């Protein structure tokens, strides 16, 4: 597999083909140039192009090549922190605004899909946050109360109800948030690119940004065979950032997550696992997530070891986990496996930066980027169109590289081991009913 080829994911085999995004050749001038071709850049480009602003996207590989085209496809509402914590962190007015936008961010995704006719196997069966241990229940209850108090369409499912929906008795309880849903993320990325181009954006694949330099009052972003002159440069490279802006790269830890997928399941199995096309993620230190797609395939994901791997046999731990959840899946065919980088920030909030006029960066969605990168991409577009920083959902923050960033592979491996142990202990203590 060449460095630029898409990972051998289920999505690469099933998404509608991409529109051409030719390499940049020669010099061009725009108002805003975006570096990266994931949801952050594509949402920003689409919103800018719709507003009639001249915009170009430079993507090293092809739109959706990074995390955006290889993720779990869960369009999840919310942030890691509770809405009340967000309000405490960012202040009552701004925090409430951010929390409302984050918990309703799936609306933006599904509106864009509908408005631009994007064919991406979208379904809105809701998001299930499932508790694997009694110790997780108080926080989940609080989230349920806070969402309900803010008008969220949520429902509490007890152990029997979540077992009936998932076909496994692993969970103590779950919160169903009907705002969530699912997509084929590569198809969504390609659809956003197609829509942005239709509205006048220039999207260049195979065009790695190699340099960013001042040029008069603006900037010049150089690629191997061309350059873009722009008033504004947006870095949307997130967990796949190279060393173009090394300090920025070191503000997030790219944690590896893997997904494996089955062939379409037999009807009896489909009737037992998330028959309403809900998506589920488990609470706990090590997140397992899964969903059933439009063809009835199971996609299950979780933390993986570092380094790119692919193939249905590349992640035996995930397959064991699936068979532990659903022993009746023994014998189903596993067809795909792949992994990618989730960009994690120390405070678990996304970050945006504007260290000098005309330079913007937005990144760090902590595994919630399908909705949040689309939302913050729109905010980047609003900023580029002249919105004041106080009007943007998140306040801009300083660029703070994570100390000892180079040691992250060790830290992450230790974190996974520690997390597995913590999760295992939490499931055993306090003993649950029947233990
Ligand atoms: C396995 C996995 C599962 C996940 N599951 C979910 C999920 O179910 N739900 C959810 O909400 N989120 C999930 N996420 C997270 C989500 O995918 C990301 O938060 C989101 O896609 C980030 O989008 P982005 O545009 O910021 O970055 P990316 O999509 O990673 O795009 C960055 C792009 O920048 C390009 N690039 C880098 N350097 C340069 C350069 N110098 N010049 C040009 N281009 C450059 C890269 O090629 C890349 O395509 C998951 C992530 C992974 C990896």
Residue 369 CB less than 6 A away from ligand 1: yes
Ligand 1: residue of 202, 367, 372, 381 to mutate (most ligand atoms within 8 A of CB) is 367
Return the pLDDT at 287: 83
| pLDDT at residue 409, as a whole number | 57
Q: What value does the mean pLDDT of the chain take?
A: 93
Residue 60 Cα to ligand 1 midpoint, Å, equals 13
- What is the reported pLDDT for 306? 73
Using CA atoms of 171, 176, 177, 182 in order, give the dihedral in degrees to the nearest 10.
70
Q: Which of 68, 228, 259, 336 to mutate to test the pocket of ligand 1 (most atoms within 8 A of CB)?
A: 68
Mutation test residue for ligand 1: of 40, 45, 71, 209, the one with most atoms within 8 Å of CB:
71
Ligand 1 in contact with 288 (CB < 6 A)?
no
- Strand-pairing partners, residue 291, are 279, 299
Q: What is the pTM of this model?
A: 0.95
Best mutation site among 66, 243, 309 for ligand 1 pocket (most ligand atoms within 8 Å of CB): 66
pLDDT at 374: 98
Instruction: Verify whether ligand 1 is closer than 6 Å to residue 105 (CB atom).
Output: no
Q: Give residue 415 CA to ligand 1 midpoint distance, Å.
A: 22
pLDDT, residue 49, reads 98
Return per-residue pLDDT of the chain as tens, 435 residues: 445 899 999 999 999 999 999 999 999 999 999 999 999 999 999 999 999 999 999 999 999 999 999 999 999 999 999 999 999 999 999 999 999 999 999 999 999 999 999 999 999 999 999 999 999 999 999 999 999 999 999 999 999 999 999 999 999 999 999 999 999 999 999 999 999 999 999 999 999 999 999 999 999 999 999 999 999 999 999 999 999 999 999 999 999 999 999 999 999 999 999 999 999 999 987 689 999 999 999 999 998 877 889 999 999 999 999 999 999 999 999 999 999 999 999 999 999 999 999 999 999 999 999 999 999 999 999 999 999 999 999 999 999 999 888 777 566 655 554 455 444 444 443 333 222
Atom 47 in ligand 1: residue holding the nearest Cα: 60
pLDDT attached to residue 433: 28
Q: Which atom of ligand 1 is closest in space to residue 63's alpha carbon?
A: 49
The Å distance, Cα 224 to ligand 1 centre, comes to 23
- Determine the pLDDT at residue 3: 53
């Amino acid at each position: 597999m060449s460095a630029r080829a898409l990972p051998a994911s289920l999505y690469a085999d099933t998404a509608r083909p991409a529109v051409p995004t030719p390499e940049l050749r020669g010099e061009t001038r725009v108002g805003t140039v975006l570096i990266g071709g994931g949801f952050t850049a594509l949402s920003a480009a689409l919103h800018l192009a719709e507003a009639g602003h001249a915009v170009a996207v430079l993507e090293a590989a092809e739109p959706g090549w990074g995390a955006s085209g290889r993720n779990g496809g869960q369009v999840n509402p919310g942030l890691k922190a509770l809405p009340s914590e967000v309000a405490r962190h960012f202040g009552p007015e701004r925090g409430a605004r951010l929390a409302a936008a984050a918990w309703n961010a799936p609306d933006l995704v599904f509106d864009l899909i509908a408005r631009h006719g994007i064919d991406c196997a979208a379904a809105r069966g809701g998001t299930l946050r499932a508790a694997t241990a009694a110790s997780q229940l108080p926080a989940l209850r609080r989230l349920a109360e806070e969402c309900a108090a803010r008008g969220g369409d949520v429902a509490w499912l007890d152990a029997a109800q979540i077992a009936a929906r998932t076909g496994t008795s692993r969970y103590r309880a779950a919160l169903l948030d009907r705002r969530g849903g699912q997509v084929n993320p590569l198809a969504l990325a390609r659809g956003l690119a197609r829509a942005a181009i239709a509205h006048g954006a220039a999207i260049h694949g195979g065009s790695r940004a190699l340099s960013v330099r001042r040029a008069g009052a603006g900037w010049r972003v150089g690629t191997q065979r061309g350059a873009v002159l722009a008033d504004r440069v947006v870095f949307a490279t997130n967990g796949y950032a190279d060393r173009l802006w090394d300090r920025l790269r070191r503000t997030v830890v790219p944690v590896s997550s893997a997904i494996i997928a089955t062939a379409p399941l037999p009807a009896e199995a489909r009737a037992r696992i998330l028959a309403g096309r809900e998506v589920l993620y488990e609470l706990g230190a090590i997140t397992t997530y899964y969903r059933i797609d439009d063809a009835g395939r199971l996609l299950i994901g979780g933390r993986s070891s570092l380094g790119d791997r692919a193939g249905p046999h590349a992640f035996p731990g995930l397959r064991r986990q699936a068979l532990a959840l659903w022993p009746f899946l023994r014998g189903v065919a596993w067809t795909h496996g792949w992994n990618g980088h989730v960009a994690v920030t120390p405070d678990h909030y996304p970050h945006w930066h504007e260290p000098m006029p005309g330079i913007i960066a937005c990144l760090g969605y902590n595994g919630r980027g399908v909705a949040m990168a689309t939302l913050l991409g729109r905010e980047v577009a609003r900023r580029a169109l002249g919105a004041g920083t106080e009007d943007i959902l998140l306040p801009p923050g300083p660029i703070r590289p994570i100390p000892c960033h180079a040691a992250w592979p060790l830290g992450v491996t230790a974190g996974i081991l520690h997390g597995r142990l913590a999760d295992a202990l939490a499931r055993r203590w306090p003993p649950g009913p029947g233990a």
